Amino acid sequence: MKKEQLLRVSCQENVYVGQPFKILVDFDFTHATRITCLTGIFEGRFRTAFANQVEYQQIIAFRIEFDALLRQWYTRQGKITAPAGHHRAESRIVIREHCPGTYFGKNGCIEYVVVVKMRVAGRIGSSELTQMCPVNVVPLVNLAHYMPFRMPVYIEKCFHKKLFCFNKCSVNIQLELRRAAFVRGMQIRESS
């Protein structure tokens, strides 16, 4: 792999489901460089690990477009040659609303990552440069559409306390909430 080329991938630290986010890919070349392949993908996947067996299952995958940048780099012979200097590709992606958020557990995880691969032609063969950028996806769920959100909750507990053979005490506690779930900023008023 040549040290003259540099590839950097950056994006937001926290990405919210259903909202667009920007992916920036920066290329720095010290001289004109022939590129044989440039691909980018935003991928979300489940990873489970149990008894030394690791399994992956893809949730989503979006191709990152470099078409505008590649059109600038084309030469008359149909080869892709990037001129020396700094180049930037920007892409916007929206994650579907029913996708789960990022999760890391003992036997598995849900992870999202941006992967950019660039293959550069050399004098003998080619070298490949891969950059990965992990993305923390935060799910957003609108509870107003679900019926259990609006349904009241009733909790009733009965406690009995006995000390030696006398002093028997019985307490019934009833708790009633008008809703099953609450939105941030909503106030709960208590009345006795």
pLDDT tops 50 at residue 1 = no
Q: How far apart are CA 128 and CA 117, in angstroms?
A: 7
What's the rounded mean pLDDT across residues 6-20? 87
Instruction: Tell me how far CA of residue 135 lies from CA of 26, 39, 44, 89, 174, in angstroms.
Output: 17, 18, 9, 18, 45
Q: Which of 110, 132, 137 has its CA nearest to residue 39?
A: 132
Task: Give the percent of the chain with pLDDT over 90.
Answer: 26
Residues 6+ apart with CB under 8 A from 137: 15, 16, 17, 44, 95, 99, 100, 101, 102, 112
pLDDT band, residue 190 (cuts 50/70/90):
low
Mean pLDDT for the chain overall:
82
pLDDT digits (tens, 9 = 90+) for 150-188: 677 777 877 777 766 666 777 777 777 776 666 666 666
Give the residues across from 160 on adjacent strands: 170
> Of 34-38, 113-117, 161-165, 166-170, which has the strongest mean pLDDT?
113-117
User: Which segments of the chain belong to CATH 2.60.40.640?
Assistant: 5-138
- How far the first Cα of the chain sits from its last, in Å, is 73
> Of 4-18, 54-68, 132-146, which has the strongest mean pLDDT?
54-68
Residue 32: its pLDDT value, please? 87
Q: Which fold has domain 5-138?
A: Immunoglobulin-like (2.60.40)
Q: CA-based Rg of the chain, rounded to a whole angstrom?
A: 28
Lowest mean pLDDT among 86-95, 97-106, 172-181: 172-181
What's the rounded mean pLDDT across residues 123-128? 82
